[in-house]
Amino acid sequence: MKFKDSLISRRKFLNGVLGGWLAALGATIIQPVIKFIFPPYQEPEEVILPAAEYQLNQPNSFKVFRWGNKPGILKRNDDGSLTAFVAVCTHLDCNVTYLPEQRKFYCACHDGWYDEQGRNIAGPPPQPLRTLEIIEEGENIILRKREKSA
């Protein structure tokens, strides 16, 4: 039914109101569900390692540590400094390993290679390995996420 001067019929109006209401109801249901299916996991901001366990006296020696759900590799360089890598391939996320004899990181998934500074040198990896900031504080070695740019 439609009044003389009205633009839409009563049915259209009611359908619109009901439809809009249903859409809004749907949205309020969907939104929390979408939130729900993504778990609240965050990458750690920092990880603290006991220095005693990570002495690494020999140059070119390394040790694996836990960086959230990923492996990390702490490595003693020839000049005595330490470098911490997130030991995950920048290609498709496989865990890499350090081969001290060859002084290279190796990813077995698709034959990816990085040099001892973590630069991608062969195979598919598109970027160098991520490194972490290292702060040596008495008994502890603190590894911290770098700001985005690095």
Decide: 74 and 82 in contact? Cβ < 8 Å.
yes
Site residues (CB under 8 A) for another protein, limited to 89-108 = 92-97, 106-108
- When asked if residue 91 is in the footprint of ligand FES (CB under 6 A), the reply is yes
- When asked if residue 129 is in the footprint of ligand FES (CB under 6 A), the reply is no
How far, in Å, CA of 46 to CA of 33, rounded?
Answer: 31
Site residues (CB under 6 A) for ligand FES, limited to 31-90 = 89
Burial of 124 (0-12, 13-18, 19+ CB in 10 A): middle
- When asked if residue 66 is in the footprint of another protein (CB under 8 A), the reply is yes
- When asked if residue 68 is in the footprint of another protein (CB under 8 A), the reply is yes
Measure CA 12 to chain center.
50
Q: Which parts of this chain interact with ligand FES (CB under 6 A)?
A: 89, 91-92, 94, 107, 109-110, 112, 123-125
